[in-house]
Structure 1
Amino acid sequence: MLSGNESKWCPLKEALPRLEGLKAESDWPALLENCSQLLSTVGDDLPDENLYKLKMTDMAIDASIHLGHWEEALGYGEKTLPVYRQYYPDPHPVHGVQLMRVGKLQHYLEHIEDALDTFKQAFKIIKLTHGVDHPMTTDLLMKMEECRSELDQKSSSCLRIEEN
């Protein structure tokens, strides 16, 4: 969890209390700017598995979502998935919820096939951890059905275009 050079992750650790304060104050622009700057400073010099980098990336997702920066939120979210899979092995509810968050971003941005795949992964976890009757599970079922319906409409449209 503390992988990477300490001189690289120490500034992230030291910045966390200040950033958590910005989050508590809902100062999303300042939070996103600070997280983005710190993450770009460490770049690839610090592995994504580093706990402080993961916390910073999660805060950047939250800030991006609150600001409506959907592509940026998705980019950050997709970076967290392998780390969540590693730290929260299936079936772990935290991993399932993170998959669901990323799936919703993918769906909103019309990355329908990716969203369907991500929702399926989340469903496998959430149905075990929360049960089949839980609202989160039924929400995932509806999201998967929406994606399937949109993919069907898309393929029908493509067939009509090819016929003309």
Structure 2
Amino acid sequence: MKVIVLDRDGVINHDSDAYIKSVDEWIPISGSLQAIADLNKNFKVAIATNQSGIGRGFYDEKVLHQMHDKMSAMLNDKGGKIDFIEFCPHHPDDGCDCRKPKTLMLENIAAYFDVDPREMLFVGDSKSDFECAQNFDCNFILVLTGKGLKTLEQLASKTLIVEKSLQSTSEGVFNGLLQKQV
């Protein structure tokens, strides 16, 4: 495994059905930033996030970049970073090629790092995250933060790796991956 791809809302930061529309509303989930800093020691870390709030007119790309700047500053304080960010700004009705579960964001991440899908692991909390990983043929971990519990019910018939949070994922599964690489 070379690249860990994270969904943002519900995995790194708290999610809201009313959307995360401002820098003040962007609040990290406990332990997620330290988990990313820990991942940085052995993997490249990227984000693939649907941000339809832009297409819906709730906020603009400038605000999104401000949220990411806040995240980067908070990560820097923990010795961590995000190596690459892909986002889909489109409304679900726009018919774009980048909105998960379509795979364009993962394709762009793979191209950026020059890796094969099997060298990537996607961590998400939604059915569209799972389907995106399946469509791209990369491994997937469902976290129970964000929409994870609801997603677990939706995917009850699927074989899944499920973790409590990004923090527990970094402590468990990723350590197992590192042992396999040695």
Q: TM-score, normalised by structure 1?
A: 0.29
User: Which has a greater percent of helix?
Assistant: 1
Asked which structure has the greater CA Rg, the reply is 1
Q: Which structure has more RCO (C-alpha within 8 Å, separation ≥ 6)?
A: 2
User: Which has a greater percent of strand?
Assistant: 2
Q: TM-score, normalised by structure 2?
A: 0.27
